[in-house]
Amino acid sequence: MAIFFAGMAVQMAGNAVLIAGMLVVAATIEPLTALVLGVTAVCGAAVMIRLRLAAVGASGPFGWSAMRAKSSRARSRRPRRSSIRASL
């Protein structure tokens, strides 16, 4: 799990550096282009965050915490299967 999150952090940092570099180069060539690209990047990030919150809300009857509680209740009600060795 730690390797996954470490890799994700490296990729996020790399993407941020890539966007910053792209904006610097675009600003050097044409400042208006850098402004348009920056606004596009910010709007894209805002849309992705809003979609994530809509898909996996933190509260409400269909939110992550409610689904997690429902899952744990269902798991605790399941009968335990006996092991194969116990039945032999």
80 occurs within a structural domain: no
Note whether 64 and 57 are within 8 A (CB). yes
d(CA 18, CA 16) in angstroms, rounded, equals: 5
Residue 71 vs residue 78, higher pLDDT:
71
49 occurs within a structural domain: yes
Mean per-residue pLDDT, 21-25: 94
pTM above 0.95, yes or no: no
Mean per-residue pLDDT, 17-23: 94
68 occurs within a structural domain: yes
47 occurs within a structural domain: yes
Decide if pLDDT at 7 tops 90.
yes
Structural domain range at position 19: 2-74
Average pLDDT of every residue of the chain: 81
79 occurs within a structural domain: no
Q: Which residues of 24-36 are buried (b: 16+ CB within 10 A; e: fewer)?
A: eebeeeeeeebee
Domain count, the chain: 1
